[in-house]
Amino acid sequence: MAFGQSAGPAASHRQVAELLGLLQNAGHADFKDARGPLGFNQRQAAGRFTADEAAELIDQLQEVEHQAAQHADTTVPAEPTSEAQTNVQAEAARSGMSDEARAEMERAVRTASTKSLVLEVRRRGWTVTKPKS
């Protein structure tokens, strides 16, 4: 096998599109955004997968979504929550995060500086403006 070549036939366009959709549902913008958290190599970060790699990743991501959906169905909030907290909890359920991981994420967001939050949101493709008050 030549350097940089994948072992096996390339994934179909349908597999790559489905994989991208699942990654976006999990909170990643694209393959490059998911490179670190999912351990993609450079070839995979560019969206090039073998058929076997794509099938395995699709199965894993669908299982995570399924578990998150089951967890979301069984959990009922103990007390009324704000809309923002409800949105964070729904996102955590979709991404398959544990309660401890979600709490750690909320602490990190609350303690982060406004500048770092703005930079991160802009990196993800959103537009940020200052409030009018």
Domain that holds residue 17: 13-79
Asked, for residue 95, whether it belongs to a domain, the answer is: no
Asked, for residue 107, whether it belongs to a domain, the answer is no
In a domain, 7, yes or no: no
Are residues 19 and 48 in contact, defined by beta-carbon separation less than 8 angstroms?
A: no
- Does residue 37 sit within a domain? yes
Residue 92 forms part of a structural domain: no
**Structural domain includes residue 24:** yes
C-beta of residue 62 within 8 angstroms of C-beta of residue 25: no
DSSP reduced 3-state for 49: coil
| Whether the model pTM is above 0.85 | no
Question: Is residue 105 domain-resident?
Answer: no
> Mind listing the pLDDT tens digit of every residue in the chain (133 residues)?
566 666 789 999 999 999 999 998 888 899 999 898 889 999 999 999 999 999 999 999 888 888 877 776 665 555 545 565 666 666 656 667 777 777 788 888 888 888 878 888 788 888 878 777 6
Q: What letter represents residue 97's amino acid? A: M
Is residue 6 domain-resident? no
